[in-house]
């Protein structure tokens, strides 16, 4: 049995051995609690036939736990300085592939085909860099990857927004953009004390499981997100005001917006945060003939 990487002493030893210093610009915060890592992996429900995709493996703390529970692990690491560290720390595991690449630029589907042939159950499991959490999630969702879902750690505030329900303060266009693709819930809250260096905020692990079918059928998915972003542009404003300012030529087409709201059975005086994803779907379809350019 190998010693866990994620203990304060072992982490310090590895950092010292390689003279590694944290880069703030890459949002590097390494986990130093093996129990939390085991917990994260347990939420992914991996089997010996599963594949795991990881983003930002750091020194391999989560990676090794994934390697113990999955058939194959592919980790995307942007920081070249960590490649020799990972080669060392993950040497006991022959089922791990480290890809030196920025996940936002990577062809993840191609990597899955090459590295995980025949693996049908794939999860993204990662401690995401806080500064690019949303772009990473949106890219991986928009890429329509052959995955079951995600178990990912992020800033708690972002996790609250992603999992928020209509009528709550945290609910917004991000909630809708993500919940359109997946069922989202917070699996666990993680205190800042279990990281090195300590971030300024608490974290949360969220579980996102892909829908078989989106919760609402729309004419144009991209336009749905245009409408939701416009609807939340200024939270204190009514849906009518926000759509007038947020949609192209919205002010000139106020009558068309009112017409669309009536068709979708939505009062113009309501605010964006009170609308369900189903209501946004109806509204987007009603606005589509006039505003989708």
β-strands 203-210, 121-127: how paired? unpaired
Residue 31 labelled as part of a binding site: yes
Give the CA angle between residues 105, 109, 111 to the nearest 5°: 80
pLDDT of res. 29: 84
- Among candidates 37, 149, 53, 126, which has minimal Cα distance to 96? 53
Does the structural domain 221-291 have CATH classification 1.10.8.100? yes
> What is the C-alpha to C-alpha distance for residues 76 and 127, in angstroms, rounded to an integer?
12
pLDDT of res. 1: 55
E-state strands within the chain: 30-31, 50-55, 72-77, 96-100, 121-127, 149-155, 182-190, 195-196, 203-210
Dihedral, CA of residue 243, residue 244, residue 250 and residue 255, to nearest 10: 100
> What is the C-alpha to C-alpha distance for residues 52 and 63, in angstroms, rounded to an integer?
9
Residue 127 labelled as part of a binding site: yes
> What is the C-alpha to C-alpha distance for residues 183 and 24, in angstroms, rounded to an integer?
32
Q: How many residues does the chain have?
A: 293
* pTM (predicted TM-score): 0.93
**Low-confidence residues of the chain: pLDDT under 70:** 1-2, 24-27
Decide if 275 contacts 231 (C-beta within 8 A): yes
Decide if 205 contacts 274 (C-beta within 8 A): no
Residue 77 labelled as part of a binding site: yes
Residue 240 labelled as part of a binding site: no
Does the structural domain 8-210 have CATH classification 3.40.50.620? no
Residue 149 labelled as part of a binding site: no
pLDDT of res. 196: 87
> What is the C-alpha to C-alpha distance for residues 248 and 251, in angstroms, rounded to an integer?
8
* Annotated domain spans of the chain: 8-210, 221-291
């Amino acid at each position: 049995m190998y010693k866990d990487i994620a203990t304060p002493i072992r982490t310090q030893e590895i950092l010292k051995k390689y003279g590694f210093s944290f880069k703030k610009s890459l949002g590097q915060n390494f986990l130093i609690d093996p129990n939390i890592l085991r917990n994260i992996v347990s939420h992914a429900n991996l089997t010996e036939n599963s594949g795991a995709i990881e983003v930002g493996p750091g020194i391999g703390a989560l990676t090794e736990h994934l390697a113990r529970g999955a058939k194959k692990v592919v980790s995307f690491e942007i920081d070249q300085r960590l490649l020799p560290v990972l080669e060392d720390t993950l040497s006991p595991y022959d089922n791990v592939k480290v890809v030196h690449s920025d996940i936002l630029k990577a062809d993840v589907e191609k990597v899955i085909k090459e590295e995980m042939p025949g693996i049908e159950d794939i999860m993204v499991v990662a401690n995401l860099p806080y500064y690019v959490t949303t772009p990473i999630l949106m890219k991986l969702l928009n890429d329509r990857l052959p995955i079951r879902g995600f178990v990912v750690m992020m800033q708690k505030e972002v996790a609250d927004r992603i999992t928020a329900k209509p009528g709550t303060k945290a609910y917004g266009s991000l909630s809708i953009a993500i919940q359109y693709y997946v069922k989202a819930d917070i699996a666990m809250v993680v205190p800042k004390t279990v990281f090195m260096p300590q971030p300024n905020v608490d974290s949360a692990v969220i579980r996102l499981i892909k829908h078989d079918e989106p919760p609402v059928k729309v004419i144009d998915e991209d336009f749905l997100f245009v409408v939701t972003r416009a609807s939340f542009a200024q939270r204190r404003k009514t849906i009518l005001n926000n759509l007038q300012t947020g949609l192209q030529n919205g002010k000139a087409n106020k009558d068309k917006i009112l017409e669309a709201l009536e068709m979708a059975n939505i009062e113009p005086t309501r605010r964006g945060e009170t609308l369900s994803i189903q209501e946004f779907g109806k509204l987007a379809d009603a606005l589509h003939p006039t505003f989708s350019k």
